[in-house]
Amino acid sequence: MTRSASQASVLNSEAESLSEPARADPPVASTDENIDSLDRSLHAAIAQLTGGLSPATLALAFADWYLHLLAAPGKRASLADKAARAGIQIGQASIPSRAALQPWNLIKPEEADHRFAGADWQLPPFNLIAQSFLLSQQWWHSATTDVRGLVRSNAAIADFTLRQWLDAIAPTNFAWSNPEVLRKTFETGGANFVFGLQNWIEDMQSVVSGRKPASEQFVVGKDVGVSPGKVVYRNELIELIQYTPTTSTVRPEPVLIVPAWIMKYYILDLSPESSLVRFLVANGFTVFMISWKNPTASDRDLRLDHYRKLGVVAAIDFINTAMPSRRIHAVGYCLGGTLLSIAAASLSRDRRDCLRSVTLLAAQTDFTEAGELTLFINESQVSFLEDLMWKRGILDSSQMAGAFQMLRSNDLIWSRVVRHYLLGERSPPSEIMSWAADATRMPYRMQSDYLRQLFMNNDLAEGRYLADGKPIALSELRMPMFVVATLHDHIAPWKSTFKIHFLANADVTYVLANGGHNAGIVAPPAEAGHSYQVTTTAAAAPYVGPDEWIKLAPSHEGSWWNEWVGFLVAQSGAPVVPPQFGKDGKWLDDAPGHYVLQS
């Protein structure tokens, strides 16, 4: 079915109300404008070579570190002593009679470091090579920490950058120092390098053509994102999907899911066995999902507030009209959760009864401890990125994906290089990895708003963020909340998400699940290995800090999904007959719609 002319008129008027006032361009640009354009063009050209990383940020961080280290003779003496001791230990361990006795007797890899997990790394001389590398890594970490007077952020940048270089030259990344590669070479007569070259050529062809590698090609609508439903609403930024019920009755309160717009929505609707959408529908809920448009350069002036109004608020308005008098269980994942928090706090001023509960999945509302992503979020770096986006109109998806890969370079970059090109193997097909390769672009204005207002200034948590021209406070969140964090989250660290306890004025059920940012959220009950801790804290209860909470919170085996369904049922009314699709049974397209297919 097609959208009516009246709907189109409404959408156009919404866009006009959100757009900035039109300004007539002067016939000739002023001198200041020309100078500004010249500077921005130069920065954008440099950014092409640096991947969007500001050279000034790195230079200032390392200059700060180096100068303070020069002024710290005691620290330098301590580092020299550590280096000498490590050298003596390595020398003693190199004696043949000792080298084969006690693997990892000098230093062990960290629990999350799986590079040296193979049995062959227990053997000499490879165990000694690995320990030498780990001791060097430990020494460089010591060199960038606890330097008196060094700015903490600059110390973190120096430590992170040096770690990236060390990860690149790790002995696992070279054929002659990796026993697993050597064993594979002997077993195959060198065929692994032939297969590795073929894999490299295939990957380069995929990069040039813009297609995903064959090992990552899960097709949306065929392999993933297959839950049946209809697109019931569309505007210039979102499609709203309503999923087909599979139970004879449903809870009267619908569930609205707001995914992050940095990626495609189907992380929450992967294969049927891993689909959170299918799980909710099977448990008797009417589920709506926002599917974001993939912006182009023509969308450069879309702001964060457009995403709030044309995204979350537009979806809530449609559901309220299609299902009147039914309050909504609103769910936000990652950036979608942050945006939902903004929208919910804004709506609480005038429409307090439109939401029944709010669920946040790996979503931050305070950005003062937002993990390693904040390392390069300073005035120099943000201005540099703004100039790159000013030139292009967007932040390209490859740059966003690269930034996230750097946070886990061992797992997401170097381990794949070794497997694909040195061992000549292919990683097993993964629906999550396929989804991760399906990133979206970021509009210039929106990304600038996000980095400056949320990351740099922390306006949301500190009551300065403006919605409809008025500051909002997260203390306006008074509906029951279900907040999920993951233990090994590099993007939204759990201690950062824990701050919702003193930001919101709500009863908070807080869940800490095992796993990472994606795998900890996609936790189907039938899949083994899941566990979580959970407590419910009343709004008026005394505050308990995260370090104490993790010691006291009860642990449970299994998926947190079941815990969440119990929460939603407790906040819902008695089952009713499933509602019709959209308004008066009218819909636009079959799920998954058009926007998710945009490349």
Of 226, 262, 334, 568, the catalytic one is 334
Tokens, residue 255: 């569930």
3-state secondary structure of 258: strand
Nearest CA-CA partner of 416 in 167, 208, 188, 217 = 167
What do you get for the CA distance between the two ends of the chain, in Å?
24
Q: What angle do CA 202, 208, 210 make, to 5 degrees?
A: 95
Give dist(CA 413, CA 402) in Å, integer.
Answer: 9
Nearest CA-CA partner of 103 in 130, 135, 83 = 130
Q: What single string gives the DSSP state of each residue in 307-329? A: IIIIIIIHHHHHHHHHSTT--EE
Asked if residue 484 lies in contact with residue 559, where contact means CB atoms within 8 angstroms, the answer is no
- Within 10 angstroms of residue 140's Cβ, the number of other Cβ atoms is 17
Give dist(CA 225, CA 267) in Å, integer.
Answer: 8
Q: What angle do CA 33, 35, 36 make, to 5 degrees?
A: 65
Asked if residue 300 lies in contact with residue 386, where contact means CB atoms within 8 angstroms, the answer is no
Give dist(CA 455, CA 453) in Å, integer.
Answer: 6
Give dist(CA 161, CA 312) in Å, integer.
Answer: 37
Do the bridges between strand 508-513 and strand 481-486 make them parallel or antiparallel, or are there none, so unpaired?
Answer: parallel
Does the annotation count 354 as an active-site position? Answer: no
Helix residue ranges per DSSP H, 169-283: 179-188, 191-209, 276-282
Give dist(CA 149, CA 164) in Å, integer.
Answer: 24
Nearest CA-CA partner of 483 in 542, 552, 535 = 535
Give dist(CA 175, CA 186) in Å, integer.
Answer: 12
**Active site members:** 334
